[in-house]
Structure 1
Amino acid sequence: MVFKRRDRRSPVQAASEFVYPRGGWTRAFHYVKHRVRRLPDTPERIARGIGAGVFAAFTPFYGLHFLIAVLLARLINGNLLASLSGTFFGNPFTYVPIAVVSLETGHFLLGTTFEEGQRRGLMRKIANASGDLRDNFLSIFTGREADWRGLHLFYDEVFYPYLVGGILPGLVAGVVCYWLSVPLIRAYQLRRRAKIKAKFEAIKKKAGAGGAALEKTPLRSRPKSR
Structure 2
Amino acid sequence: MERTKERRSIRDYFRLMVVQRGSPESIAWGVAIGVFIAFTPTLGIQIILGLLVAWIVRVNRIATIVPLFLTNVLTAGPVYGFECWLGAQFLPDAKSGEMVARWERLSAALSGLGVFSAHDLHAHWREIARVGWDLWLAMWIGGILVGCFLAVPSYFATLAVVRRYRERRARRLRTRSQTRSTGA
TM surpasses 0.5: yes
- 1:150 offset after TM fit, Å? 5.5
Instruction: Name the residue aligned to 2:85.
Output: 104
2:33 corresponds to which of 38, 52, 62: 52
Correspondence for 2:67: 86
The aligned amino acid for 1:100 is G
- The CA deviation at 1:46 is 0.5
In structure 2, list runs of 5 or more residues that go unmatched. Answer: none
CA RMSD across the alignment: 3.5
Within 5 Å, give how 1:1-12 maps onto structure 2.
none
Report the residue type matching 1:54 in the other structure.
V
Report deviation, 1:84: 0.7
Q: Distance in 1 between matches of 2:135 and 2:151?
A: 23
Amino acid at match of 2:52: L
Aligned length: 175
Which of 10, 17, 29 aligns to 2:10? It is: 29
Taking a change above 3 Å as real, the CA distance of residues 94 and 204 of structure 1, as seen in their structure-2 partners, is farther
Rounded Cα–Cα distance in structure 1 between residues aligned with 2:79 and 2:47: 17
Which one-letter code corresponds to 1:171 in the other structure? C
Query: Identity over aligned residues, as a percent?
Result: 23
Of the candidates 1, 22, 25, which is equivalent to residue 41 of structure 1?
22
Is residue 65 of structure 1 aligned with residue 42 of structure 2? no
Highest relative contact order (Cα 8 Å, sep 6+), 1 or 2?
Answer: 2
Q: Secondary structure at the match of 2:179?
A: helix
Alignment correspondent of 1:188: 165
| TM, length-normalised to structure 1 | 0.62
Kindly report which structure 2 residues correspond to 1:66-215, keeping only aligned pairs within 5 A, or say none.
66-91=47-72, 94-113=75-94, 118=100, 125=107, 128=110, 132=113, 144-145=118-119, 146-147=121-122, 148-149=125-126, 151-152=128-129, 155-206=132-183
- Secondary structure of 1:61's aligned partner: coil
Residue by residue, what CA displacement relative to the aligned partner does 1:116-157 show, whole Å, maximum 9, x if unpaired? x94xx69x84x928x85xx79xx8xxx844431463256234
Decide which structure has greater helix share: 2
How far apart, CA to CA, are the structure 2 residues paired with 1:36 and 1:152?
40
The two structures have a TM-score, normalised by structure 2, of 0.75
- 1:91-137 Cα shifts (integer Å, max 9, x gaps): 5675445323321232123322285x94xx69x84x928x85xx79x
8 A Cα contact 2:43 2:71, kept in partner: no
List runs of 5+ in structure 1 lacking aligned partners.
Answer: 1-20, 210-226
Compare 85-94 and 178-187 and name the one that shifted more: 85-94
